[in-house]
Structure 1
């Protein structure tokens, strides 16, 4: 049994470091399952890192503990995930009692560092939902802890594992358009998904670090991975001019609001059985309201953001995030010394779309199986006609990335990946530090150097972990 545990820990360490040269192994070796605990039983934790793992990987792992500050959500999580394990209000008590191999962290972003550091200190490997953390000081604490305790941290960057994003990586790695010199990257959140961040704790910068950290960490990680270079300097603009206090009326939250009939952003949480059982029925335990008003005066994050990022290899990126677009999708263009690559997903006037914006978001978050759809990537080399490449992918599970990430972590972490999609501490730190630097730039009006934020040594290429 101890041999099995050592093999698992070695494999997770390799996954975090991006080093995959290991012998074949399995979680079930010597009849030993991976012992997992989950801290943070919100919607993401109980579904993607909870129920799906139970349904797909119960032959190789078992949950031995659930932890949350809300006892009602804990009871819901246990029933929803269909697990028979102890529940805990105190994290250290759970670790001492359950003795897990792996801690999965899906708490409020600003508390990730607490459970990551405690988990490493208490002898566990840790898998954290993005973002790694919310500021540079907490990031440095996590870096110091991993060095000190000789345990490893895995980041759940599922976007890397989408076949569409992987194809972009392949084309860039092959030198299809030569050396990359500049990138234009624009992400649009619609008035269904984008607005939801302003109803939740994400609307408070002290909880989520602003969307430049919570949401954009996905996008910055993709850029770092695609370009295979570290960010060097960031200059940014941002403001709150749509949501929050920028409205003539507001209520405390949607259910009792007197403005229901004339508010375009009224959201009826009672139509969601899951949200009612997970959140509304447990409000009395901790006071957390899931259907807060998007016009709340306490909201203090940005709803429009633009950043210019200069990389160590001299690539310059122009990035923007909009939170009140009529549609949800993204566009990117890579300019190189030999041509240009253009890619985009879910731009409604580029492709006939039959689903509503709400349905599109629900499909992205869903974990079901579906037939492949095909999406184009355009390559245009200098002095030649453009070429359109059709990439097969699923729409559900974040473009098929969710299931591929899970398979890598829980089925074959020792399998060599030619695209280096496994993400560790360094990847999590680099993506967060771009968002943190952008936030500081907005606040100070100055460009911010990444090297000034932590003691992580920056690299021009071949970043590793």
Structure 2
């Protein structure tokens, strides 16, 4: 075993073992590049975990294999990434042939477990996009596979790494409002971003586990990290009242629909050269339609969601997700024994500015380094005293600046200690998706769901 490989295994083990202590990122050494294989060449795979790695870290890593079930998208993805490695339609063949050190999983959510488990069993460390998985059975399988394999799993939570989210963590950890007692957290998806989920495979529970899992896992991970505890019980409500069968009309897809003149949600994917080249040009291979009608009958996920989450340390959270808001943004408020913190992003009327909602979402998703910065406030109220404002320098691109910071910690910043514990392992991935899974089960059963009833994990009162 080479020195660089030994360092890699040691550091990745530290990272995955616990995110509650200061952790060094991977230390690959300089004598040998890290061998990376990617499975899933959709948009997140070829951009953030593909091209960006080639552009930013080619001196320390190299792609040795790409895999996907769609041969057209696979070859297009290889060119877009700028990789010179072989491509494979069979995942196991790729692993056996290319012998990667690290496998990155960016497939459909419902298949994450297949590649995570197989990768671990075949002797590789694995990094997966969120969510970890879509139901409790798959979650148990992943946790058991990691334990048996002796290998390690990392979950790519990026929101923790944004400067704004980090400042909230810093204020809470410093005791600025004493002990946290309750939290209100509300996320609003606009009719550009929110609607997009209902066009895609995310609109089916069997594929994405519902937005309780695919989208809200981001938010639940932030809550677990901010509160520094783990969830113990969830009760939830949800319904499908806007999209799906509730629509006034429906068509085959946006390109082939007789209602384009009357539909406020009409979207011409062919005008987006990137998406056309990635999806439309290759849909003949697997039948995946990227611009499906968001009023189609088969949609079975919720479009309005509300949950109450009780934590092991007795903090109570009120959470909601709206998928058809006029604007995109979020609010969070923390009540404590010594005060209250209020924070928000992208609430347009708070700044009295007009916002192009479509352009805002595109900006968040782009990977180019943001040269435009904004100052966003966090309000800290103290009992018996006046409030004060904490101004935070923020970015818009790359999920609020979180994307680049996450990858720098994983692949470049090998020596510094992170005082905020932002690196996420399998337990973090499980505890975030299990809240969404519990919420979904609660709606179906009408009962509160204990987190420890879903897996062998027992919620910790304190993460750190």
Tell me the residue number matched to 2:138. Answer: 138
Aligned to 1:207: 207
Q: Distance in 2 between matches of 1:286 and 1:119?
A: 24
Q: Structure 1, residues 11-39: CA drift from partner, whole Å, max 9, x if none?
A: 11212224777889843422x00000000
Match of 1:455 in 2: 456
Q: Give distance in 1, aligned partners of 2:340 and 2:29.
A: 47
Q: Matches of residues 276-425 of structure 1 in structure 2 within 5 Å?
A: 276-369=276-369, 370-425=371-426
- Following the alignment from structure 2 to structure 1, what is the Cα–Cα distance between the partners of residues 236 and 293? 28
Aligned partners of 1:25, 1:168: CA distance in 2, in Å? Answer: 26
Q: Distance in 2 between matches of 1:368 and 1:4?
A: 30
Question: Which stretch shifts more, 16-25 or 450-459?
Answer: 16-25
Residues of 2 paired with 1:24 and 1:269: CA distance? 39
> How far does the alpha carbon of each residue in 1:252-272 deviate from its partner, in whole angstroms, 9 at most, with x for none?
100010100000011100111
Q: How many angstroms apart in 2 are the aligned matches of 1:313 and 1:28?
A: 40
Distance in 2 (CA, whole Å) between partners of 1:351 and 1:119 is: 48
**Residues 251 and 61 of structure 1, relative CA distance in 2, 3 Å threshold:** same
**Aligned counterparts of 1:383 and 1:431: Cα–Cα separation in 2:** 35
Is residue 2 of structure 1 aligned with residue 2 of structure 2?
A: yes
Correspondence for 2:174: 174
Q: Does 1:238 align with 2:233?
A: no
Task: Say whether the 8 Å CA contact 2:23–2:418 is kept in structure 1.
Answer: no
Matches of 2:352 and 2:423, distance apart in 1? 34
Alpha-carbon deviations, 1:331-386, whole Å to 9, x = none? 00000010100000000000144540011001111122213211000000001111
Residue aligned with 1:151, SS = coil
1:142 shift after superposition: 0.4
Q: Counterpart of 2:62?
A: 62
**Residue equivalent to 1:78:** 78
Instruction: Name the CA distance, whole Å, in 2 between partners of 1:10 and 1:87.
Output: 29
**C-alpha separation in 2, matches of 1:77 and 1:353:** 38
| Distance in 1, Cα, partners of 2:389 & 2:28 | 42
Q: Which runs of 5+ in 2 are unaligned?
A: none
Q: Structure 1: which 5+ runs fail to align? A: none
Q: State how far apart, in whole Å, the 2-side matches of 1:411 and 1:401 are.
A: 15
Task: Supply the RMSD in Å over aligned alpha carbons.
Answer: 1.3
Question: Does residue 64 of structure 2 align to residue 99 of structure 1?
Answer: no
Tell me, yes or no, if the aligned pair for 2:364 and 2:400 is still in contact at 8 Å: yes
Q: Could you tell me whether the CA contact under 8 Å between 1:14 and 1:414 is conserved in 2?
A: no
The normalised TM-score by structure 1 is: 0.97
Residues of 1 paired with 2:169 and 2:178: CA distance?
13
Tell whether 2:113 aligns with 1:113: yes
2:249 matches 1:249: yes
TM-score (norm 2): 0.98
Q: Indicate whether 1:225 and 2:225 are aligned.
A: yes
Do the aligned residues in 1 keep the contact of 2:67 with 2:74 (CA within 8 Å)? yes
Aligned length: 462
Cα distance change of structure 1 residues 22 and 6 upon mapping to structure 2, 3 Å threshold: farther
Inter-CA distance 417–72: structure 2 relative to 1 (3 Å threshold)? same
Question: In structure 1, how many angstroms separate the alpha carbons of the residues matched to 2:397 and 2:24?
Answer: 33
1:183-211 residue CA offsets vs partner (Å, 9 max, x unmatched): 00000000000000000000000000000
Report the Cα distance in structure 2 between the residues aligned to 1:60 and 1:53, rounded to whole angstroms.
10
Aligned-partner Cα distance in 1 for 2:298–2:320 = 24
CA distance in 2, matches of 1:425, 1:78: 29
CA separation in 2, counterparts of 1:195 and 1:23?
Answer: 39
- 1:301 alignment partner, SS class: coil
1:156-180: per-residue Cα shift (whole Å, max 9, x none)?
A: 0000000100000000001100111
Q: Distance in 2 between matches of 1:264 and 1:371?
A: 31
Contact 1:12/1:413 (8 A) holds in 2: no
Conservation of the 8 A alpha-carbon contact between 1:36 and 1:62: yes
Distance in 1 between the 2:266 and 2:375 partners? 35
Helix, strand or coil: the match of 1:320?
Answer: strand
CA distance in 2, matches of 1:90, 1:97: 11
Give the 3-state SS of the residue equivalent to 1:45 in structure 2: helix
3-state DSSP of counterpart to 1:139: helix
Partners of 1:89 and 1:22 in 2: how far apart? 36
Q: Which runs of 4+ in 1 moved over 2 A?
A: 17-29, 352-355, 412-415
Cα distance change on mapping 1:353 and 1:88 into 2, 3 Å? farther
Question: What residue in structure 2 maps to residue 433 of structure 1?
Answer: 434
Shift of residue 247, structure 1, vs aligned partner: 1.8
| Most deviating of 250-259 and 404-413 | 404-413
**What's the secondary structure of 2:100's corresponding residue?**
coil
